Structure 1
Amino acid sequence: MQFVEYSDTSDLNAQFAQRVAGLLANAIETKGQASLVVSGGRTPLPFFKALSNADIDWSKVAITLADERWVEQSSDASNTALVLQNLIQNKASKATFVELKTSEDSAFGAEASVSANLNSLSFPIDVLILGMGEDGHTASLFPCSEQIDQGLSSDKVCLAVQPTTAPHERMSLTLKSLLNSEQIFVHLVGESKKVVLDKALAGDDVKEMPIRAILKQDSTPVDVIWAAK
């Protein structure tokens, strides 16, 4: 794991966008296509806007989410809406978006259809960008959920999850899918997230803090990208 600290979020967003765009461009040159998996929430929105203006061939890029709440796009909780409104804009409007949310009423009846959607991505994922919760969850691999063992060990591409400490059913990529990446970034902002990161690095129980399964493995390169404010 590499830890990369930036002076502030403005510097982080500009340089991080440039680095991700470079990795996607290299993948396009090498394979003719590229895959980008991002995470939702408010933290990445300025980064999304910076990346959306990158001068690459976005028509050859497929984008999806590491996880999604099982809500409609009209909901304030929809990560799909955040990505469509902030990343798949400007030059990146030519990218293909692969949805994790389908028409099924429950995420628990939708694993097969979401897996089929994800087949349109090129694996290994070229760039995976994760966040981290205060409880050490990443994607929707929550330590509190009944599905945590399966999320950490399953051969499935994705898994329906119901956290007990957060609202909404979720659809999440499994750990196996997350690690099937060329490059992983963990994007963090704020002193509180640095405290959680330090706690994660100090222990080994992945069920207690699932982010450890990302940070403490050596099969896929991981860069933690952080700014205090």
Structure 2
Amino acid sequence: MALTIESYESPDVLSEAFASTLCSILKTGIQTRGRASLVVSGGRTPVALFELLSNADLDWSKVDITLADERWVDEQDEASNTRLVKEKLLQNKAAAAHFVPLKSAHADANEGVNEAESNIASMAQPFDALILGMGEDGHTASLFPCSEQINDGLAMSSGRTCIAVTPTTAPHQRMSMTLPTLLNSRNIFLHLTGERKKEVLTEALDNATEAQKPITAVVNRAPVTLMWAP
């Protein structure tokens, strides 16, 4: 387990430092490989980060952006991570970036897995940067410990890059990257704010199995940088 902790005095200071770090990573990817890839997560925590990134001086036309997971709802729905990314990140200078969706027109997420995997396969991998969040149940992306699909999502040899998930403790069917896909990243960040989230992470790493607290599966297998502020 290799967890590096970067603590900041406030969420705003964290967002500024994080945006600078991500810009450097993406610029390096563009310079060395011609394109760069960024995988983001939804929720309230990254909104300020997205807004800062949207104004970053970067050749966004050479950046591919996708989501670690998505709720299986229409883009117009307030629960849509795609809507969040388009409204907060793909604005200003970052409007030139190429967005790669996980959500498709299929009524059921299980029917959309192949299309999601095809979309992800169009991106250069390993991803340059992955930003994960974490719920208070220890889930990350949409790898929920309560779901029947958790073992399939954590399997390292399934050959799947995406999986349809139906959590029992949260609304909406989901599409999620599997653990091997998440780990296929050059830089993995866990973006958390608040004392409670840090406590959940510490408890998970100290006492839980990977199926009980899926965030541990990521930290157990790859270097992860925790970006945290109270």
Q: Which runs of 4+ in 1 moved over 3 A?
A: none
Q: 1:76 aligns with which of 75, 78, 82?
A: 78
Q: 2:138 aligns with which of 136, 139, 157?
A: 136
Question: Which secondary structure does the structure 1 equivalent of 2:169 belong to?
Answer: coil
Residue in 1 that maps onto 2:108:
106
Question: Which secondary structure does the structure 2 equivalent of 1:29 belong to?
Answer: helix
Residue in 1 that maps onto 2:17:
15
Gaps of 5+ in 2: none
Mapped partners of 2:189, 2:37: distance in 1: 14
Gaps of 5+ in 1: none
TM-score normalised by L of structure 1: 0.97
Bigger mean CA deviation after superposition, 94-103 or 192-201: 192-201
Mapped partners of 1:201, 1:147: distance in 2: 21
What's the CA shift string for 1:152-205, capped at 9, x where partnerless? 003201000000000110000000000000000000001110110111121251
Question: Which secondary structure does the structure 2 equivalent of 1:82 belong to?
Answer: helix
Residue in 1 that maps onto 2:38:
36
TM-score normalised by L of structure 2: 0.97
Aligned-residue RMSD, C-alpha:
0.8
Q: What's the offset of the Cα at 1:120? A: 1.5
Identity %: 54
Question: Which secondary structure does the structure 1 equivalent of 2:189 belong to?
Answer: strand
1:27 is aligned to 2:29: yes
Mapped partners of 1:204, 1:31: distance in 2: 39
1:165 is aligned to 2:169: yes
What's the CA shift string for 1:46-98, capped at 9, x where partnerless? 01001111111100000000000000011110000000000011111100000
Residue in 2 that maps onto 1:211:
215
Aligned residues: 226
Mapped partners of 1:144, 1:221: distance in 2: 26
1:174 is aligned to 2:178: yes
Mapped partners of 2:208, 2:171: distance in 1: 27
Question: Which secondary structure does the structure 2 equivalent of 1:28 belong to?
Answer: helix
Residue in 1 that maps onto 2:148:
146
Q: 1:194 aligns with which of 175, 183, 198?
A: 198
